[in-house]
Amino acid sequence: MTDKRDTNRLIHETSPYLLQHAHNPVAWFPWGEEAFERATAEDKPIFLSVGYAACHWCHVMAHECFEDEEIAQIMNAHFVNVKVDREERPDVDEIYMNAVQVMTGSGGWPMSVFLTPQGVPFYGGTYFPPESRHNIPGFPHVLESVARHYREKGDNVADVANRLHEHLRAMTHIDALTDDLSETDFDGAFQKIRSNFDFQNGGFGTQPKFPNSMNLDVFLRTYLRTGNEEALAMVILTLEKMARGGIYDQLGGGFHRYSVDSRWLVPHFEKMLYDNALLAQLYTQTYQVTKQPLFARIVRSILDYTRREMTAPEGGFYSTQDADSEGEEGKFFVWTPQEVVDLLGEEDGAIFCRYFDVTARGNFEGKNILNIPQAYEVDEDAIARGGAILFDAREKRVKPGRDEKIQVSWNGMMISAFAQAYRAFGDSVYLDSASEAARFILENMRTDRGLLLHTYTDGRARFNAYQDDYACLILGLIDLYEASFEPSYLIAARDFMEVMIDQFWDDVDGGFFYTGRDHEELIVRSKNPFDNATPSGNSTGAMALLRLGTLLEREDWRDMAARILHLFGRHIQEVPSGFGNMICALDLYLQGAVEVAVLGDRDREDTVALLDVVNKTWRPNVVLCGGSDPVSDAIPLLKNRGMIDGRATAYVCRNFVCSEPVTDAEALEKLLDE
């Protein structure tokens, strides 16, 4: 067991995840030169363990193995042990996760990798138990076997490491697609993604089932492009099923990370900022298209949860909430019928239990995850009363742990979510939340040279930012500008774009590297092309180049976006399900942006009427600018434009052709729907 008298080098870190291991008997090192120098000096392999604070199985392996004195003795005797928080060092995580997937055919966390003193992997896996079980070797056996192999068969280890290193290098090389991209590529991508759709439960595949927000975004865009009703129906089915399932926190709002079953019933209970940011955007957009009240309610619940649980007092959004509390996964979220009846009384308790599927048998280890298996008419007041009472009672329970790192990329996504929701619903607290987060990052998470820093914890910003940090923040600042017409956001976005291009752009082959020119040298430098749980830096970069390039009339930036899309064009054609956000950028590239400028005082009714036309319906390729007359010189689309006869005026241009300016909301709507 862990003894608080044991203290290792992680005690000096700021990551909550690393600090959880600071009192292990394992002599952990953080990632850095000291660990590699020690491994070289002692000719020991490195054991690299990568995880994150909200990961249930990371906690399990830590308790079973890293807190065990005997296992720690083996680790300390034969290895230099390095612990990494994947959210602090996604560059390290990506490289070695690719290696584990090559070696084993699968991946996940906790990630367990064995490296040469030069940092090259030669063996790896994920979770290892303390004793062999379920065809997984026990961790002590793995440690002793790897140590013996390294000691007695060094040439073989070197050969495996060299071949794997070459394979990882080859993975970073991307052959550009030379042919032009067309509407056929977008339509073909939709059909391939559709082939994996679950028409019964929504979503993709069987189990486990992830939200896949970006692929649903492709479906929504398909409907808006072509009028394909099936594409819209698939989005609606998925969002309705998720909103009724256990993956959605029916009391507190927000979504858990994924469902272990195909019905969205039983989640892994951790909550991630990025999932909720992407889902808030998708539910907002789908509401704007369908006007279904359920989707508006879900957006509000996600954002209310984020403001209540995930917002730092000084501004900025926290990263994750754990799955576990009091050592049990999901304990905070589950109920028995007796607990419900004790709180609500027999009559309201029975109504509540029936509606939310709370039974004596239970649906999760004898207890119940609240879900709505079927919709029917019910006493809505009783449900609302019951929900409020249970929420208050739940607040008295021991809460899951929270990782209070503030990360630029995930904050950028949530800034976009709040800004987009403000435009759709007009609630000023959403604009305030987005503005405060942006202010916090701009004031606390960049260097004197204007470079971003990736994370902020306990008053300290650390680590060179990655390319997706820049791209996501730029998109967040664009969304904030479109919501507020505050020119400083656009100026900041421009400045970060120039830094991103300077630090990350590949002048030879095109596309963005994941790490910057000033970053430490790792065993490979990748371009991180896939849209996985979060959008890739290249897809967000392409979207940012297209949108900001339009707003600031930078044709060179739009050309760079085209180069990215052509670079990954073959991937879009062959494996579109892994490039959902890239396909959305392709949609903007192929369709071209619709430029809308609205001139007028935002407090006047005529200006509000014009902006409502733009804001209340989702048109994904509209790029919006505006302000009072006279307007800022920093925004080219506003130059030489003003109000007509003292009335709020809208200017619409597409494909380098501008329509007559309009002052009437109905006329503007007609122009936008052409």
Range of the structural domain that residue 372 is part of: 331-399
Same domain for 265 and 215: yes
Residue at 176 is within a domain: no
Task: Give the CA distances from residue 496 to residues 258, 450, 473, 474, 491, in Å, rounded to whole numbers and listed in that order.
Answer: 33, 8, 8, 7, 9
User: What pTM, to 2 d.p., does this model score?
Assistant: 0.94
Domain contains 372: yes
| 364 lies in the same domain as 299 | no
Backbone angles phi, psi at 7, to 5 degrees: -140, 130
The reply to whether 4 falls in a domain is no
Q: Is 79 found in the same domain as 204?
A: no
Q: Name the nearest CA neighbour of 208 among 257, 164, 241.
A: 257
Phi/psi class of residue 450: alpha, beta or left (left: φ > 0; alpha: ψ in -120 to 50)? left
In which residue are the tokens 């070197």 written?
A: 158
CATH code of residue 468: 1.50.10.10
CA angle (532 as vertex; 126, 90 as ends), nearest 5? 60
Q: Do residue 444 and residue 581 come from a single domain?
A: yes
pLDDT of residue 629: 65
Residues 226 and 133 in one domain: no
Residues 529 and 570 in one domain: yes
Regarding whether 459 and 566 lie in a shared domain, the answer is yes
How many domains is the chain built from?
4
Distance CA 428, CA 433 (A): 9
267 and 382 together in one domain: no
The CA angle 49-575-111, to the nearest 5 degrees, is: 5
**Helices 380-395, 346-355: inter-axial angle, 10-degree rounding:** 90
Residue with tokens 């579109």: 576
Q: Of 553, 574, 591, at which residue does a domain stop?
A: 591
Whether 99 contacts 113, CB under 8 Å: yes
Contact 511, 563 (CB under 8 A): yes
For residue 591, count CB atoms less than 10 angstroms from its CB and return exposed for 0-12, middle for 13-18, buried for 19 or more: middle
* CA–CA separation, 635 and 611 (whole Å): 18
Among residues 110, 127, 103, 116, the alpha carbon closest in space to that of 46 is found at 116
* Same domain (yes/no): 570, 434: yes
- Per-residue pLDDT at 1: 44
Is 480 among the domain residues?
Answer: yes
pLDDT tens-digit map of 126-184: 999 999 998 899 999 999 999 999 999 989 999 999 999 999 998 887 776 656 788 99
Same domain, yes or no: 357 and 314: no
Residue 585 CB partners (closer than 8 Å, separation 6+): 539, 542, 543, 546, 561, 564, 565
Among 565, 591, 617, residue at a domain's last position: 591
Q: Give me the torsion for CA of 23, 25, 30, 32, rounded to 10°.
A: 150
DSSP 69-125: HHHHHHHHHH-EEEEEETTT-HHHHHHHHHHHHHHHS---SSEEEEE-TTS-EEEEE
**What does the alpha-carbon distance between residue 318 and residue 304 come to, in Å, rounded to a whole number?**
14
Last residue within a domain, chosen from 591, 611, 631: 591
Judgement on whether residues 142 and 70 belong to the same structural domain of the protein:
yes
Handedness of CA 139, 141, 146, 147 (dihedral sign): positive
User: Is residue 178 situated within a structural domain?
Assistant: no
Rg (CA), the chain: 26
Q: Is residue 467 part of a domain?
A: yes
Give domain status of residue 201, yes or no. Answer: yes
CATH code of the domain containing 148: 3.40.30.10
How far, in Å, CA of 104 to CA of 124, rounded? Answer: 8
The whole-number pLDDT of residue 177 equals 60
CB 567 within 8 A of CB 582: no
**N residues, the chain:** 674
The 10 Å CB-count burial string (b at 16+, else e) for 452-472 is bbbbbbeeebebbbbbbbbbb
Pair (524, 633) in one structural domain: no
| 560 in any annotated domain | yes
Confidence at residue 132, expressed as pLDDT on a 0 to 100 scale: 93
Query: Which residue numbers in the chain have pLDDT < 70?
Result: 1-5, 176-179, 629-632
- Which pLDDT value is given to residue 391? 98
Tell me the C-alpha distance between 344 and 392, whole Å.
Answer: 12
CA distance 645 to 664: 13
List CB contacts of 549: < 8 A, sequence separation 6 or more.
555, 556, 557, 558, 561
Other beta carbons within 10 Å of 647: 15
